[in-house]
Amino acid sequence: MNELLKQDAAALETLLEKVKQKGVQYLEQINERSTNAEQVPVIEGHLPATGVGAEATLYEFYRRFEPLMVAAGGPRYWGFVTGGATPAAIAGDWLTSIYDQNSFAVKGQGDISANIELETIQLLLDLLGLPGDFLGGFVTGATMSNFTCLAVARQWIGQQAGKDIAREGLHMPVPVLAATPHSSAIKSLSLLGIGSSQIIVVQTEEGNRESMQMADLEKKIEALQGQPFILVSSGGTVNTVDFDDFTAIAALKKKYHFWWHIDAAFGGFAACSDQYKQLLKGWEDADSITVDCHKWLNVPYESAVFLVKDRHRLLQVATFQNSNAPYLGDPLENFSFMNFLPENSRRLKALPAWFTLKAYGKNGYKYIVENCIALAQQLGNYIEVSPHFELLAPVRLNTVCFTLKNTATENDTAAFLQELNSTGKVFMTATVYKGKKGIRAAMVNWRSTAADVELVISLMEQLAAKR
Ligand SMILES: Cc1ncc(COP(=O)(O)O)c(C=O)c1O
């Protein structure tokens, strides 16, 4: 055996102990850690013939990269939609690496990790109040979940015309209706050959809304004259967390012939709260749903779930089957995730989710969700009466979308955001909402508290007063 591998194998406990100590230290101090990277590391691309061993590599990591790691899992990282990682999720994630299973087959392919994945999906469906007739699996993020769901939708469209698009290729237009789809759904349409410019845009409701106008949706459906189509709806738009009317869409589903997809990447977790779950009423009738676990479930990247109605199982296998490799078995006889999603080999992504679901249960998630919503409202209430800022939309759930008041130029908003972020105390991201430059703060982290919001409000006050 290579000498360095031999040495490291013998010193494994010391190595992992050091990683543990440093990791715990980082997590215990995450509230104080900067949310902003001030420099980028110099890239050193030369690989020597002889390595340095794991411990020396660890020291190099700590010297060069660790000081630049931002508190992305901390309580004031409110950019994009960034979840943290619960203690149980971190434990599950470590174990995922230690056991290093290849999660694809339920039986007969060497390991049982796919059974853990199937159980985790059931737990998640229970948490979200969804029925058990969805077949789900883990992918890297909501982008890949949207891709997976829309790939099956594309296959369904082909089936309606007697075509097998997975085999024959896409030789037909695929009508897609949507009002405010997430950029990742649009990207998925590009990847799937449907074409991002093919979306038939449904008007949004009047009065500062991003949800689709049902009358216009029906008008656009009628214009298709019975042609099957895909409807991409939102279970929480990314700027203002507006929800499409799922009860009304479910009613349309009885009247028209379409595939109904919901991108509920983070908004789906509203189902954890009795107070907010009505936003999702009717979503159980969708053909497919995207839910992101590295957002409000607070598991480490990369973790999201696709949910596709079980009745579409054959279409899903037709889309993703890996059948030209005889050693992997018949896709219809032996259940194997590789025939249901884009990847073949994959890590046991479900384990961190399984840990956190078991550890905190429904009440834990009700707390996380309701706490984040209360914090967004706290920030929103401040902005509503502030002489310096204005809300671009009401705070509907966990996201605050706002801008500066009385600015000389639109660039002032970007300059303010840069100043705010460079304090390293908070991180928000820029957006454009209805043509206006704005700022978004999205709260989905289990660590965030009212004191964090107070701290950010006082920073915003100080910076705005100086302008
Ligand atoms: C509604 C929605 N869909 C999809 C995505 C894409 O998620 P991911 O970055 O996990 O691929 C996001 C990310 O913020 C989102 O908010």
CATH 3.40.50.200 correct for 90-356: no
pLDDT in tens, 11-68: 999 999 999 999 999 999 999 999 999 899 999 999 999 999 999 999 999 999 999 9
Instruction: State how far the Cα of 124 lies from the Cα of 115, in Å rounded to an integer.
Output: 14
Distance 353 CA to ligand 1 centre (A): 18
Contact (Cβ atoms closer than 8 angstroms) between residue 136 and residue 308:
yes
Q: How many residues comprise the chain?
A: 467
Bin 443: left if φ > 0, else alpha if -120 < ψ < 50, else beta. Answer: beta
Tell the residue nearest (CA) to atom 10 of ligand 1.
Answer: 141
Distance 78 CA to ligand 1 centre (A): 14
Nearest Cα neighbor of 357 from 291, 282, 451 is 291
Report DSSP letters for 75-113, one per residue: TTB-STT-----HHHHHHHHHHHHH---TTBSSSSS--H
Tell the residue nearest (CA) to atom 5 of ligand 1.
Answer: 142
Pocket test for ligand 1, best of 143, 299, 307 (most atoms within 8 A of CB): 143
Distance 304 CA to ligand 1 centre (A): 9
Domain boundaries, the chain: 90-356, 363-466
Is 363-466 in the same CATH topology as 90-356? Answer: no
pLDDT value at residue 322: 86
Q: Tell me which architecture the domain covering 363-466 has in CATH.
A: Alpha-Beta Complex (3.90)
Distance 8 CA to ligand 1 centre (A): 39
Tell the residue nearest (CA) to atom 4 of ligand 1.
Answer: 142
Whether residue 454 has a cis bond before it, omega within 30° of 0: no
How is residue 157 written in tokens? Answer: 């469209």
Distance 294 CA to ligand 1 centre (A): 10
Contact (Cβ atoms closer than 8 angstroms) between residue 320 and residue 339:
yes
pLDDT in tens, 349-390: 999 999 999 999 999 999 999 999 999 999 999 999 999 999
Distance 358 CA to ligand 1 centre (A): 25
Give me the tens of pLDDT residue by residue for the chain, a chain 467 residues long: 999 999 999 999 999 999 999 999 999 999 999 999 989 999 999 999 999 999 999 999 999 999 999 999 999 999 999 999 999 999 999 999 999 998 877 665 678 899 999 999 999 999 999 999 999 999 999 999 999 999 999 999 999 999 999 999 999 999 999 999 999 999 999 999 999 999 999 999 999 999 999 999 999 999 999 999 999 999 999 999 999 999 999 999 999 999 999 999 999 999 999 999 999 999 999 999 999 999 999 999 999 999 999 999 999 999 999 876 666 667 667 788 999 999 999 999 999 999 999 999 999 999 999 999 999 999 999 999 999 999 999 999 999 999 999 887 878 999 999 999 999 999 999 999 999 999 999 999 999 999 999 999 999 999 999 88
Distance 310 CA to ligand 1 centre (A): 24
Tell the residue nearest (CA) to atom 7 of ligand 1.
Answer: 142
pLDDT value at residue 332: 67
pLDDT value at residue 317: 95
Distance 12 CA to ligand 1 centre (A): 37
Q: Ligand 1, residue 302: give the atom nearest the CA.
A: 10
Distance 176 CA to ligand 1 centre (A): 19
> pTM of the full predicted structure?
0.97
Report DSSP letters for 408-421, one per residue: SSTHHHHHHHHHHH
Distance 184 CA to ligand 1 centre (A): 7
Instruction: State how far the Cα of 265 lies from the Cα of 262, in Å rounded to an integer.
Output: 9
Q: Ligand 1, residue 234: give the atom nearest the CA.
A: 1
Pocket test for ligand 1, best of 149, 183, 184, 307 (most atoms within 8 A of CB): 184
Q: Ligand 1, residue 144: give the atom nearest the CA.
A: 11
Strands 229-234 and 176-178: parallel
Q: Ligand 1, residue 80: give the atom nearest the CA.
A: 14
Q: Residues with beta carbon inside 6 Å of ligand 1?
A: 80-81, 141-143, 182, 184, 236, 238, 263, 265-266, 292, 304
Pocket test for ligand 1, best of 292, 293, 302, 349 (most atoms within 8 A of CB): 292
Report DSSP letters for 31-55, one per residue: TTS-SS--S-PPP-----SS---HH
Instruction: State how far the Cα of 170 lies from the Cα of 195, in Å rounded to an integer.
Output: 11
Residue 287 DSSP label: S
Q: What are phi and psi of 234, to 5 degrees?
A: -115, 130
pLDDT value at residue 453: 98
Distance 386 CA to ligand 1 centre (A): 30
Q: Bridge-partner residues for 439, per DSSP?
A: 402, 430
Contact (Cβ atoms closer than 8 angstroms) between residue 60 and residue 422:
no
Pocket test for ligand 1, best of 80, 140, 149, 182 (most atoms within 8 A of CB): 182
Q: Ligand 1, residue 236: give the atom nearest the CA.
A: 1
Pocket test for ligand 1, best of 78, 81, 280 (most atoms within 8 A of CB): 81
Distance 108 CA to ligand 1 centre (A): 35
Distance 265 CA to ligand 1 centre (A): 6
Instruction: State how far the Cα of 399 lies from the Cα of 380, in Å rounded to an integer.
Output: 9
Tell the residue nearest (CA) to atom 15 of ligand 1.
Answer: 265
